[in-house]
Structure formats: C-alpha cells, structure tokens
Structure 1
Amino acid sequence: MGLTFQPAFRDKMLFNIPIIYILVGIIGALIGLPVINPMGTETEAKIVEHASELIVIISLAGAGLSIDLKARWRTWQPTWRLLAIAMPLTILCVVWLGVNLAGLSVAGAILLAGALAPTDPVLARSVSVGSPHSEQNGTRTALTSEAGLNDGLAFPFIWLAVGVALATGDFSWGSWVLEDVLYRTTAGVIAGLAVGWCLTKILFSSIGDATNNRSNAALVLLAATFLSYGLAELVHGYGFLSVFISARAARAFTKDTKAEPYENKAHKSADQLEAILLAVILLWFGTFIGGSLWHVWTWQDFAIAMAVVFVIRPIAAWISLLGHDMEKVDRAKIAFFGIRGMGSIFYAAFGLNQVEFADPERIWCVISFTILISALVHGSLANRWMADAGVDEPDDTEQRNANTNDKKTA
C-alpha cells in the first residue's frame, strides 16, 4: 500500500519507501512480533535465502527488459569498466577490512566482500532506467546494466569463500578459475541466450501468446524467468546471469518491432511483483534488525559499512571510469549510487547455508548495517540527484503514439 504514494512524492528529497518499511519492521520486532532469524534454524535460513533469491531474479528480469541500449563494447563501456575494475577493487578492500577491522576469518571476509560488492538491482529501482522505450541516458543505463550483470558475476567470489572455508589443505585456484569463474559464467550466459531466443520465437510466432491478443504477460514473465534460472542451475551455471541475459536477449530481438507493447506489459508485471516482494522482505529485514542485530552491532560494523558506502565503492567506481568520455557529474553519480540491498542478503544466506563459517553473526551485522545506511542515504538522495538522469515516458507504444497524435491535433 505504501508504494501507492510513490508517484506523488517521487521528487521529494527525503521520501524514502524502503526506510519506512524497515522502520515498521523494527517497531514490530520491538513490540514482540516473531522474527525469522537466518542464524537460527535451518528452515529459517532457507526461507531467507529463497525469498531474497526470488526477488532478485524477478528484479533482474525487469532490468533486462528495461534497457534499450544494445550491449556493445563501446556503448556499454562504463558497465564493463565497473565490472572489471570497480567490483574487484571493492572486493579486495572489503576483504582487508573484514580481516583487519572486523576480525573475520579469510573465508568469512571473502564471503562478506562477495556479498557487498554487487550493486543491487532491487533497491536500485530509484536510479534505474525505468520502463522500455523510456528516455534513457548513460548514467541510469550504466547503473542498471551493472546491477544486472554483477549480481551474477559476484557469485565466483561466494564460491571462493565456500572453497576456502572447506579447504583442509592447499586451495586449488586453478579449479576455482576453470569451474566457478569460466565454466559457470559461460553456462549462465549461454542458457540465458538460448531461453531468450527460443521463447521470443515462440511468443511472437503465429501461435504465440503475443500475437493472438492474449494478456498472459505476467505468467510468461514468470515462466521465462524460472526457465532461464532453472536451466542455468541444471547445468551448474549462474542463474542470476542467465535471467538477465535472457531478458536482454528478448528485448534485443523485439526492439523497434510490433512486439514491443507485449514486452512493456511483461516489464510492468515484473515491476509490480518486485514491489510486492520488496515490501515483504524489507519488513522482514526490519524485524531482523530490531529483534536480532541492533544490540550486537559494534563500531567496527559501522565503520566498514560507512567505508563501503562513502569511500570504497565511490572511489573504486570513479577510478574505473577515468578516461571515459563523460561529464564529471555523471561519473560522480554512477560512482556514488552503488546501492547495496537484497542481493547482499541472498549471497550471505547462500554462503552461510553451504558451509559452516566461524563468524556468521559478524558477517550479518556488517551486511545489515551497510544495507541500512545505503537504503537511508541512497534512497533519500536518489529522487533529487537522479532527477535529470532520464525521465520516464509512457510505458507502451500505443500510449506514446496517442500522445503524439494529440499534440499534432492540438
């Protein structure tokens, strides 16, 4: 229900829906509502893992459908730079802080860094490009595409943390590179391309849903998302990467064709599903903070969270974009709005469910503090600072054409 107020307050600097939900959750926990604690029972841990997993894949599907700019080396250069330079730099810095400031084991510090490295596709809604065929510029496109891809490309570091935690002798770097970096990434990309291409051909064929005046876009979106995710997981690829690539492939195949109105409906469905799931998980996150974490937070947790949000990510991203032809203000926006959120929750839950780490409470404390600060700061500033970085246009082609005709008539 709170999301119904967002359009009216979208330009208000301090209007922050995520924080409202988190605060409600905190109050609920303080007055005695039950808390699902991922450090509690195995069932609770699995609930948190799979709930956060679901919202991330829905968000990735929506992000993939929303971007109009084709993924070429030149046009997506800011994205490639953020992935190849900013994310590894962020991981290295957080690993160092995790070991030397938080007192984590090496494996725990790697898990913490892998979870905090990606820009979140869910809480980054306020800085994303919006709907397909909206007015899009480099700043929003870079942040959206970065969030879409790095939520899959951070996975090798989660597996690295698991491998280090399990290692009884020398860790096999060669196996990690071949299997977790090269094979799983390639398998995820291929699975996504295959599902995106096949489903698009079927949907827009003579017997497909999109060409027979049917309105099953929401069901098709879920089917495509789960199919691409499931296929990638079946062949031990990265499902997050597959979902985003599948949606990007579908968008690329149908851009500037009569199929666009159907894809716009699918994007609307993804946006609505994501909004519902976001409200539920943020309420849970608030109860987790209020019931299990706030009284065990330390100044080290606060220091690392502040460093990630205000120092490490901005500097790493700024360095990665040096030499690229863009305005300094756009570079500053891309560097600053590295929002942390649901992806970090999933990665922490996933890693901690794979193997026993020595310091799960400390990992959750740092991650939760970072998400809270990111949601508060980025969520409050995004409406104003990103107001000139792309303005959404009508969501479907028919509406856009209708507006154009109205202007001509006038």
Structure 2
Amino acid sequence: MQELNVALVSIGGLTVLLSLAAGLLEDRSYLPSEPIAATALGVVLGPSGLDLLHLSGLGEPLAVLEQLARLTMGLAVMAAALRLPGRYFRANDLAMTVVLVPGLVAMWLVSGGLVYALLDVPLWTALLVGAIVTPTDPVLAGTIVTGDIAERYIPEPIRNLLTAESGANDGLAYLLVFLPVLVLEHSPGRALAAWLFETLLWEVGAAVAIGAAVGAAVGWIERESSEHALLEESSLLTITIAFSFAVLGGVKLLGSDGVLAVFVAGLLFNRFAQARDRLDEQKVQEAILRLFTFPVFVAFGLALPWEQWLALGWTGAALAVGILLLRRLPMVFVFDRFVDSVDDRGALFAGWFGPIGIAALFYVTVAHRLIGNEILWTATSLVVASSVLVHGLTASPLTKLFGRTTDRDRSQSAADGSEPEPESAFADG
C-alpha cells in the first residue's frame, strides 16, 4: 500500500507540474520533454535511485510493462486516427503504401542488420530486435506533432504524415515481429505456414476487417444519434475512450491484432462521425492518453537494465547511434522519390523524427515472454531510452529551426515572385 501511495503522489504530482508548465516546456528548448521527465522520475524512485518503487510489487515487471504499453498504444493510435483528415489514406494512398510496405521493411532490415553486425546474436534474433524497434511510436510522435509549437512551425502535411505512419505501422509491425518469433519457435516450414495463415490472414487481416466494420458502424450510429439529439455531452465525450478499450480487448480475445484494429476503427469512425463532435472527442482522447503516458514512462524508468547495458560496452552505444541515424533517414530520402518531389529539408525533418518508444516496449515485452532471451530487453530498452532522450531534447529546437527556415524561404520566394517548392510529398489530396 505504501508503494501505491508513493506512485500516486509522484506520478500525480509530476502530471500536474508538467501540465501547468506545458507551454514553458515547449517554448524553452533547454528543458526536458515530458517523456524524459517521466522516465527520469522512474529512475530516481526505482531500484537504481531511492528504491521506493518496484514493478515487482504488481507482478512480473515486464508483464506489467506489457499491459501498460498495450493500453497506452490503444489510446495513442485512436488519438492518431482522430487527428487525421477523414479521407487521408485514400487521398494519399500511394505515399502511405510506399512508406508502410517497402519503407517499413527497409527500416526492419537496416535495424536488424545493425544488431547482427554489432551484437553477438544469431541472425533471426537480430531480425527480431530489428522488427521490435522498427515502428514509429505514436506516443512520442504525438508529442512532436501536437501543441502550439508544432502547429506554428511544422506544416500540416508533415504533421499528418508522421501521425498516419506512427498510427499504422504500430499494428503492421506485428507481421515483422512475429515472423522471427515463429522461426525461433518452430521449424522453417511450419513457421512460414503459421505466419501466412495465422499472422497475416487472421491476426492482421481480420484486425483490419473487424476494425473497419466496427468503426464505421459506431461512427454512423454516433452521427445519427447526434443529429437526432439522442446523445448527452458527457456520454459523447467518453465514446472514443470506451471504444478504444472495447476494440483493443475484444479483438485480442478473438486472437487478432488489437492495436491495428483500434487504429483502423478510429479511421472509419473519423470518416462517418459528426465533424463537430470529433473535435471534442479528440481533445478528450488526447487528455486521457496524457494520463496514461506518464505512468508507462515512469514504469520504463523503473525497469531499465543498467548492468546489462554496461555489459554491452561500446557496441551498445554504437547500436543506439546507428539505429537512430540509419533506421529511418535513408528510407525517407529513398522512397520519397517514388511519390512526389520534396525538398531535402522537409525529408530530413520527417526522417529524423521517427521516434522509438511505447510500441517497441510493447513488442519487446511480448517477444521476451515468448522467447525468453534477455538480449531482446537489453538491446531494445537501450534504443528506446536513447530515442526518448535524443528526440525529446531535439524536438523543440529543430521544430523551431525548421519553421523559421521554411518561413524565410516562403518570404524569399514571394519577394522573387516565384513559387516555393512543395513542403511535402504527402500533402492532403
């Protein structure tokens, strides 16, 4: 009970403090981001610090972290779906196909290759770690593309690109993660058959179909109820929260990918629901997501494997640096050429801000539970901690720098009487 009270006062106090100082944190680039602050609080209160909090009091630490990450991801991908324009994927079908298919595979192979080259692990274990750190995290991406600073300095097409990619590839990464998991568990032939018929067709394909059907149905019912004044405001504002949890849990009970189903359901709900109601629901969704984000990062800080990191030596640092620099930036520059032209500055910004966070924590805890290899948690937690730190510290200054240079180019183009180059290849149709 004492640990519960410590958790309540520390996490609640941090949430209040960071909420009151949110504008200051965004405006002062030298102050840490909210995920950094929450992770640091976990380190201070955990076994490596004051030794006041332990995840083991709630159960097996990685199992606790898995469920916290799963719930947070469900809320995050729903928030991402509500943040997008109603027909975003249809209007940008080619761009999103390129980013989510060959782009996702390229990031997986680069990450897996770095793990294989730097750590003394078998190929399929390296590919598993690479798959785990591949998806762009919707929680950390959300902290970059939302808020006054983001709306002021980041063009809407780039914000939408990061939001759409982070929401979709969280669920699609399920395919990449479970291919090496199945290969490590079974013979190659059985693993391939299980991946094709169970993972691809049911766990991913059924998730898309179920999410689309449920999302469209709930969105249509919400619109009809709203038009006929059958909804109370308090009921209206809780729809997407309850909807997120219901789809996440229900689809998981069916043995399918609940996270992907929630994102697809959010897209279809966004398409059919009343536009004026969606704005209010989005604000509530973002607020509840914020309440879940702090605890999961505190829990991450409590579980950091410091001794295992030190045991990796220089290869651990090289792995973190290599993945942050090579996993995503080359992919954006290469595959953007197959869509529309985009200036190098826009590609550089979109390529850099593909953070690794809660999605990786979810997948690594699942993989660790199934495979039991400690290197999975050691390597992934190191990369996630590095991403939280580096992307958190660079988000505000690089966002402002990007916005100022974009505005300067627009002003120069206007003065010269020329048209500025497109800001992004992924603009809304």
Q: Which amino acid aligns with 1:281?
A: V
Contact map agreement 2:172 2:260 (CA 8 A) in 1: yes
> SS of the counterpart of 2:304?
helix
What is the CA-CA distance between 1:365 and the residue it aligns to?
A: 2.0
What is the CA-CA distance between 1:312 and the residue it aligns to?
A: 2.4
In the TM superposition, what are the counterparts of 1:145-184 in structure 2 within 5 Å? Answer: 145-168=164-187, 170-184=189-203
What is the CA-CA distance between 1:249 and the residue it aligns to?
A: 0.8
Structure-2 separation of matches of 1:4 and 1:77 = 41
The 3 A distance-change label for structure 1 pair 248 and 151 is same
Contact map agreement 2:114 2:322 (CA 8 A) in 1: no
Please name the residue that 2:30 is paired with: 14
Please name the residue that 1:369 is paired with: 382
The 3 A distance-change label for structure 1 pair 311 and 203 is same
Structure-2 separation of matches of 1:130 and 1:64 = 17
What is the CA-CA distance between 1:281 and the residue it aligns to?
A: 1.4
Identity of aligned residues (%): 21
Please name the residue that 1:408 is paired with: none
Contact map agreement 2:316 2:379 (CA 8 A) in 1: yes
Unpaired runs of at least 5, structure 2: 1-15, 405-429
What is the CA-CA distance between 1:76 and the residue it aligns to?
A: 4.6
Structure-2 separation of matches of 1:7 and 1:241 = 32
1:94 pairs with 2:107: no
Structure-2 separation of matches of 1:270 and 1:367 = 28
What is the CA-CA distance between 1:94 and the residue it aligns to?
A: 2.2
Equivalent residue in structure 2 for 1:335, among 342, 351, 375:
351
Contact map agreement 1:187 1:236 (CA 8 A) in 2: no
What is the CA-CA distance between 1:369 and the residue it aligns to?
A: 1.7
Please name the residue that 2:204 is paired with: 185
Contact map agreement 1:228 1:243 (CA 8 A) in 2: yes
Tell me whether 151-160 or 42-51 shows the greater mean CA deviation.
Answer: 42-51
Please name the residue that 2:266 is paired with: 247
What is the CA-CA distance between 1:155 and the residue it aligns to?
A: 0.3
The 3 A distance-change label for structure 1 pair 178 and 317 is farther
Q: TM-score w.r.t. structure 2 length?
A: 0.80
Structure-2 separation of matches of 1:185 and 1:382 = 32
The 3 A distance-change label for structure 1 pair 230 and 311 is same
Q: TM-score w.r.t. structure 1 length?
A: 0.84
Contact map agreement 2:223 2:272 (CA 8 A) in 1: no
> SS of the counterpart of 1:338?
coil
Please name the residue that 2:282 is paired with: 267
The 3 A distance-change label for structure 1 pair 228 and 183 is same
What is the CA-CA distance between 1:142 and the residue it aligns to?
A: 0.8
What is the CA-CA distance between 1:260 and the residue it aligns to?
A: 2.5
What is the CA-CA distance between 1:235 and the residue it aligns to?
A: 3.7
* Cα shift readout 1:183-239 (whole Å, capped 9, x = no counterpart): 322211111111111112222324899743422244322221123223432443321
Q: What number of residue pairs does the alignment pair up?
A: 379
What is the CA-CA distance between 1:291 and the residue it aligns to?
A: 6.3
Tell me whether 99-108 or 58-67 shows the greater mean CA deviation.
Answer: 99-108
> SS of the counterpart of 1:103?
coil
Q: Which has the higher helix share?
A: 2
Structure-2 separation of matches of 1:161 and 1:269 = 38
Please name the residue that 1:402 is paired with: none
Tell me whether 105-114 or 370-379 shows the greater mean CA deviation.
Answer: 105-114
What is the CA-CA distance between 1:389 and the residue it aligns to?
A: 6.5
Contact map agreement 2:72 2:293 (CA 8 A) in 1: yes
Structure-2 separation of matches of 1:271 and 1:305 = 30
Contact map agreement 1:127 1:143 (CA 8 A) in 2: no
What is the CA-CA distance between 1:146 and the residue it aligns to?
A: 0.4
Structure-2 separation of matches of 1:208 and 1:342 = 37
Structure-2 separation of matches of 1:339 and 1:262 = 30
* Cα shift readout 1:376-410 (whole Å, capped 9, x = no counterpart): 221222223334669xxxxxxxxxxxxxxxxxxxx
Unpaired runs of at least 5, structure 1: 391-410
Equivalent residue in structure 2 for 1:325, among 333, 341, 344:
341
* Cα shift readout 1:254-295 (whole Å, capped 9, x = no counterpart): 3xxxx2232222212221121111111111212222766554
Structure-2 separation of matches of 1:266 and 1:41 = 32
What is the CA-CA distance between 1:325 and the residue it aligns to?
A: 2.2
Structure-1 separation of matches of 2:228 and 2:380 = 42
Structure-2 separation of matches of 1:266 and 1:290 = 38
In the TM superposition, what are the counterparts of 1:63-142 in structure 2 within 5 Å? Answer: 63-68=80-85, 70-72=87-89, 74-128=91-145, 137-142=156-161
> SS of the counterpart of 2:54?
coil
Structure-1 separation of matches of 2:41 and 2:327 = 30
Contact map agreement 1:189 1:242 (CA 8 A) in 2: yes
The 3 A distance-change label for structure 1 pair 45 and 290 is closer
What is the CA-CA distance between 1:88 and the residue it aligns to?
A: 0.7
Equivalent residue in structure 2 for 1:355, among 351, 357, 371:
371
> CA-atom RMSD, angstroms?
2.7
